[in-house]
Amino acid sequence: MIELWNRRDYFYMLFSEHLLISFVALLLVSIIGIGIGIWVFYSKKARTIVLPTVNFLYTIPSIAMFGLLIPLVGIGLRNALIVLVLYGLLPMVRNTFTGMKEVPLQFVEAAKGLGATRVQLFRKVYFPLALPSILSGLRITTVMIVALAGLAALIGAGGLGQAIFRGLNTMNTSLIVVGSLGISLFAIVGDKFVGTLEHKNNLLHLITSNATRRQKRVIISNVTVLCLLLLTAFLYINPLKMHDNGAITIASKPTSEQFIMGEILAQTIENNTDIKVYRKFGIGGGTTNIQPALLAGKLDMYVEYTGTALMNVLKYSALKTSRTTFQELQDTYLDKFKLHWVGLMGFNNTYSLAISKKDAKEKNIRSFSDLARYSDQYDFGAEFDFFERQDAYKGLIKTYPFHFANLHEMDINLRYQAFEDGQINALDVFTTDAQIEALQLAVLEDDKAYFPRYEAGIVVRQEVLEAHPEIETLLNCFTGAISTDKMKRMNYEVEVLKKTPKEVAADFLKELKTKG
Amino acid sequence: MSSNIMIDIDHVSFAYDSEEVLHDYSLEIESGSFVCITGESGCGKSTLLRLMNGLLIPQKGEIRICDKILHADNLLTIRRMMGYILQDGSLFPHLTVYQNMTFCMNLQHASEKACQQRIDELLPLLNLSPDLLHKFPDELSGGQRQRVGIIRGIAHRPKIVLMDEPFSSLDPETRESLQDLVKDIHQKMKTTFVMITHSLSEAEKLGTTIVRIQ
């Protein structure tokens, strides 16, 4: 509880982001959805094309939709808004269309027969009589968008989902709980809010100018509260200040290690300079999304691993990767991207395979080759991309004769849990993972050096270093400063001892200062 | 043609899909008359009324209202010269009684003052209490709803009032009192009334002219 209370600023920010994203998405989806609903009602031609399209959009899994849009609009708010709006369209369009279609013919005939023009017919009959249906669509959309906005954190748009993903990635249950409860609460309040518009036809009576004083009061007070909340949220995160000249935005991927590294960089700059620092931590998709944002100047620095840079960014083959020196990587990055690799930090967070220490001792398994001999006794679990990537499982079984009894594909965050539950007894690990210690795992030696090295280094935009030359000196202090064991320990402090990345980073910097 | 003719239906044919409802039908309705059109259900009497206010367009022949041929361009102008009273009132459920009554006047952008004056004038004529003005249609009895429907149909001082079986869903007592009211209004307004009814006795009671469609 105290931990949560201490992080209240973080939660206020997530709440504010969530509120603003959901509100803007809802506003857009209402305008566009109602517009399309009306259009398809009047145009039969449009109906045959638009309705199936809207249906189709709804069936695309939302995570995939976020991903599909990345090459088109990149990551962040814009991407999130587009996805939320596309999803929200179905209930809005359908309910508007159905609401209008189901206006009883007698009222339409009466209005026509009494001399209403097309526009009057729409304004005085169709729209007001379709309004209850439109509002019930809006209610569904509100709940859906608030919930779906939770996924926006995956593409760096922030919101309460960030707490959930941070929690999942750092094994912090209380963060997951706060994030999920926050979203549920939000959805309930949102539903209630739209519900008051629907209740006793409050909004309908307001627009047909026959609301009672009480109805007016209910709507006005609700809208006032919403506006105040929006204003507070807006002032709280103040998106305009993001364009501060000279401010530095530090990114991280969504792992404990990356959160700690991000904090270390951020605190170092904050403690030693007057430069304003923005933290864009936990960006889903990692390098895939951070690299383009760096090139676009939206992010300024982060910690990257050599293996990822060579294979995923530069698209080198495994062979070429193993032969490229750090100096060559530095030169290529500078040449190609105007990105600077400040020296390597010292730890190697590469892939390895692990089994329980007990097993390793009993069967005398020390290396991958040893494991291969016993592999038919092992159920092997790994994350989805481990099985998919050429440089992971597919190449691994060509180098070592593994014949695992069973293979289990799962989310990266669940494989340790699966190990603990006895579902699997061999798994892939990253060499700095906290659970290696927590679960008493034996990390095996890659005796044929199959996996490339993933040495951590700081990547900074050249422009930033030119504008703030003092930063380079500061960052150079980290060269060789963190061993693989030290990194594993820090991850353990976050994931198992439940310290915040901020605290762990601060402790590390203190330690470094006394040493240095 | 005599200028005394308000509605002139001239050799009109109309079919829904392939089923012909009216064939080469002609009818002249004199100004100031109360014409009751009766006939078996499905004989085309409702179709005839809808043709008169342009909700349906004849496939053959033409309809002249006040000597003007009814077509798409003048449809709105002509409709606004008419009042339209439907079964059970067909009041707009989202509007108050007052808003329903002044619906046509509002469509024609009458001032609020004019609306109020006109309603004040009509309420006693229809035996309606001003207390009802701010109620909604679902709070009224069937008879009250139909009275509101009548006011909606005549508030804008139409030259022609079209009524489509206005009393069919009312109980006999209410029906009778409303028939008397309508008869009275017709005499006071001196406009042309056209009423569709399936009841011959109603037609005989109200109509100055009775038309039977076979």
For residues A504 and A259, is the Cβ–Cβ distance under 8 A?
Answer: no
**Strand ranges, E, within B2-72:** 5-16, 19-30, 34-39, 60-65, 68-69
**Strand ranges, E, within A431-468:** 441-443, 455-461
Q: Which of A117, A205, A210 sits opposite B76 (nearest CB)?
A: A117
Is A307 in the same domain as A212? Answer: no
The domain that holds A395 is classified in CATH as 3.40.190.120
d(C-alpha A4, C-alpha A87), whole Å: 32
- Of A274-278, A409-413, A455-459, B165-169, the one with minimum mean pLDDT is A409-413
d(C-alpha A123, C-alpha A126), whole Å: 7
d(C-alpha A403, C-alpha A503), whole Å: 43
Tell me, yes or no, whether A87 lies in a domain. yes
Whole-number percent of chain A with pLDDT over 70: 98
- Mean pLDDT across A293-301: 88
CB atoms closer than 10 angstroms to residue B208: 12
Here the tokens at position A152 are 């926006």
Tell me, yes or no, whether A448 lies in a domain. no
Closest to A339 (Cα-Cα) out of A283, A280, A294, A309: A294
- Mean pLDDT across A365-379: 94
d(C-alpha B89, C-alpha B150), whole Å: 7
Is A140 in the same domain as A227? Answer: yes
Residues of A whose CB is below 8 A from B110: none
Here the tokens at position B160 are 């022609």
Instruction: Return the higher-pLDDT residue of B203 and A242.
Output: B203
The structural domains of chain B, with segments of one domain joined by +, span: 1-81+159-214, 87-158
The answer to whether the CB atoms of B107 and A204 lie below 8 A apart is no
**pLDDT for position B1:** 44
Q: Which residue, chain included where needed, has tokens 């105040």?
A: A228
Q: How far is B143 from chain A (nearest CA, A)?
A: 18
The answer to whether the CB atoms of A115 and B107 lie below 8 A apart is yes
Residues of B whose CB is below 8 A from A198: none
Second-level CATH architecture of B1-81+159-214:
3-Layer(aba) Sandwich (3.40)
pLDDT beyond 50 at A148 = yes
Is A72 in the same domain as A178? Answer: yes
Residue A232 at interface with chain B, using a CB cutoff of 8 Å: no
Question: CA-nearest residue of chain A to B82?
Answer: A114
Residue A211 at interface with chain B, using a CB cutoff of 8 Å: no
Is A355 in the same domain as A345? Answer: no
> Burial, A292: exposed, middle or buried (Cβ in 10 Å; 0-12, 13-18, 19+)?
middle
Size of interface A-B (CB pairs under 8 A): 62
**pLDDT for position A245:** 63
Residue B166 at interface with chain A, using a CB cutoff of 8 Å: no
User: Rounded to whole angstroms, what are the CA distances from A183 to A22, A58, A89, A150, A196?
Assistant: 11, 21, 21, 7, 20
Is A507 in the same domain as A430? Answer: no
Q: Which residues are CB-contacts of A315 (< 8 A; sequence separation ≥ 6)?
A: none
Chain mean pLDDT for chain A: 90
**pLDDT for position A240:** 55
Q: How far is A7 from chain B (nearest CA, A)?
A: 50
Tell me, yes or no, whether A136 lies in a domain. yes
The answer to whether the CB atoms of A114 and B96 lie below 8 A apart is no
Residues of A whose CB is below 8 A from B92: 107, 110-111, 124-125, 129
Would you call A314 helix, strand, or coil by DSSP?
coil
The number of folded domains in chain A is 3
Beta strand A455-461 pairing with A301-305: antiparallel
Residues of A whose CB is below 8 A from B152: 114
Q: List A441's β-bridge partners, or say none.
A: A356
Is A424 in the same domain as A464? Answer: no
Is A161 in the same domain as A229? Answer: yes
Is A11 in the same domain as A51? Answer: yes
CA-based torsion, A7, A11, A12, A14: positive or negative = positive
Is A340 in the same domain as A366? Answer: no
Per-residue pLDDT tens digits for A394-438: 889 999 999 999 999 988 778 888 998 999 999 999 999 988 988
User: For chain A, what's the residue count?
Assistant: 516
The domain that holds A105 is classified in CATH as 1.10.3720.10
Residue A204 at interface with chain B, using a CB cutoff of 8 Å: yes
Here the tokens at position A450 are 């199959």
pLDDT level of residue B15 (50, 70, 90 thresholds): very high
For residues A166 and A254, is the Cβ–Cβ distance under 8 A?
Answer: yes
Residue B76 at interface with chain A, using a CB cutoff of 8 Å: yes
**pLDDT for position A260:** 95
d(C-alpha A112, C-alpha B54), whole Å: 9
pLDDT beyond 60 at A242 = no
Q: How far is B89 from chain A (nearest CA, A)?
A: 9
Domain boundary among A443, A464, A499: A443
Residue A423 is classified by DSSP as: S
For residues A167 and A175, is the Cβ–Cβ distance under 8 A?
Answer: yes
Is A213 in the same domain as A360? Answer: no
Residues of B whose CB is below 8 A from A112: 55, 79
Is A337 in the same domain as A469? Answer: yes
CA-based torsion, A288, A291, A295, A298: positive or negative = positive
Q: How far is A142 from chain B (nearest CA, A)?
A: 25
Here the tokens at position A295 are 């090139």
Residues of B whose CB is below 8 A from A120: 107
Tell me, yes or no, whether A46 lies in a domain. yes
- Of A101-105, A388-392, B16-20, B96-100, the one with minimum mean pLDDT is A388-392
Instruction: Return the higher-pLDDT residue of A427 and A166.
Output: A427
Q: How far is A219 from chain B (nearest CA, A)?
A: 18
R_g of chain B, CA atoms, integer Å: 17
Here the tokens at position A148 are 């779906």
d(C-alpha A342, C-alpha B155), whole Å: 85
Residue A205 at interface with chain B, using a CB cutoff of 8 Å: yes
**pLDDT for position A6:** 74
Q: Which of B84, B93, B96 sits opposite A114 (nearest CB)?
A: B84
d(C-alpha A169, C-alpha A384), whole Å: 16
For residues B7 and B37, is the Cβ–Cβ distance under 8 A?
Answer: no
Residues of B whose CB is below 8 A from A125: 92
Per-residue pLDDT tens digits for A17-32: 999 999 999 999 999 9
For residues B117 and B196, is the Cβ–Cβ distance under 8 A?
Answer: no
Tell me, yes or no, whether A316 lies in a domain. yes
Q: Which residues are CB-contacts of A502 (< 8 A; sequence separation ≥ 6)?
A: A263, A267
Here the tokens at position A346 are 């010292």
Q: List B64's β-bridge partners, or say none.
A: B8, B69
Closest to A203 (Cα-Cα) out of A130, A254, A121, A304: A130
d(C-alpha A244, C-alpha A433), whole Å: 36
Residue B53 at interface with chain A, using a CB cutoff of 8 Å: yes
**To which H or E segment does residue A180 belong?**
helix A173-198
Domain boundary among A193, A213, A240: A240
Residues of B whose CB is below 8 A from A129: 92-94
Here the tokens at position A402 are 């593994």
Domain boundary among A392, A413, A443: A443
Is A21 in the same domain as A149? Answer: yes
Q: Which residues constitute the domain of residue A321?
A: 244-349+453-515
Per-residue pLDDT tens digits for A173-205: 888 999 999 999 999 999 999 999 999 899 999
Q: How far is B123 from chain A (nearest CA, A)?
A: 20
